[in-house]
Amino acid sequence: MSAHANLERRRQAIYGWLLLSPALVLLSVFAFYPTMATLWSSVFSRGTRRKPVEFVGSENYTDLFVDPTFWLVVKNNLLYAGVTIPVSIGIALAMALWANSKISARGFVRTAYFTPTVLPMIAAANLWLFFYTPGLGVLDQIGSVFGLPSVNWLGQPETALWAIIIVTIWKEAGFFMIFYLAALQTIPEDLKEAADIEGASRWTYTRRIVLPLLMPTTVFIAVNALINSVKLIDHLFILTKGGPSDASKLLLYYIWEMAFAFFDAPQAAAMTILVIAVLAIVAAVQFLYLDKRTHHQ
């Protein structure tokens, strides 16, 4: 009996590892190995013909911390994330509440909200380039009707990053709306009927019942929005290329520029490791703290 039990336990273990192996292989090839290779690269110097690669330890990281351009990019990314995350989530929630209500042409409204999400990143950037072009763009054409001067939205340090922020909010709000819409449709109708019987207003029902039940979805969306805020690169290639004067340069674009324009792969690797570390901390906070506080039984 004991031998049979051991054989059955071993068979279940093999079956479990077979189920895990596809995901484990994919994670190892596309996540674990690249991360370790990047970490290894970040502790070596950039090699040249006259000066071979050598171990420098944390020198690449200390160089980053004294680099004013790095801190400017960090500041840009913090402003970019601080605006795009709450605004896009707020707009997505408002759109989902409206699209989930009993209105006419509800399917058309949902499609209209979701359309920007399905557009390719490059196509969306070119579309907004048409809006922002000085003199010929839609915004300047509208402004000229009211006698406003032409504005180079993408060519001024004061407006370039804000122009990128608007494009991101327009692109992401519809995507986040889908998650909210799916969560709203899981809320039992009995809760709305009970609130109506108690005489609760629509605002009270939304604030006291709907929003707390949507908190797990909100946390999930917020973490995804944070990840998206450090991986924007497509729009910058088309719209500003990080300019003018690095005013719209963000972390991932700076990493790409350091690696493929300045050919400083170790410095780019060091920045990548820092970004991964920050995202890992955020994920840990989500799973160990926020996730427990926001799920309702």
What does the pLDDT look like over 94-122, one tens digit per residue? Answer: 999 888 877 777 777 777 777 888 888 78
**Whether residue 80 has pLDDT greater than 90:** yes
**Whether residue 148 has pLDDT greater than 90:** no
**Whether residue 284 has pLDDT greater than 70:** yes
Q: Residue 258: what pLDDT?
A: 92
**Whether residue 12 has pLDDT greater than 50:** yes
Q: Residue 295: what pLDDT?
A: 53
Q: Which residues contact 143 (CB under 8 A, 6 or more apart)?
A: 149, 150, 151
Mean pLDDT of 270-297: 77
pLDDT tens track for 230-240: 988 888 988 99
Mean pLDDT of the chain: 87
**How far apart (Å, rounded) are the C-alpha atoms in residues 16 and 19?**
5
Mean pLDDT of 154-179: 93
Mean pLDDT of 210-226: 88
Mean pLDDT of 40-51: 85
The mean-pLDDT minimum among 40-54, 84-98, 241-255 falls in: 40-54
**Whether residue 296 has pLDDT greater than 60:** no
Q: Residue 66: what pLDDT?
A: 93
Q: Residue 16: what pLDDT?
A: 84
Q: Residue 268: what pLDDT?
A: 94
**Whether residue 62 has pLDDT greater than 50:** yes
Q: Residue 297: what pLDDT?
A: 46
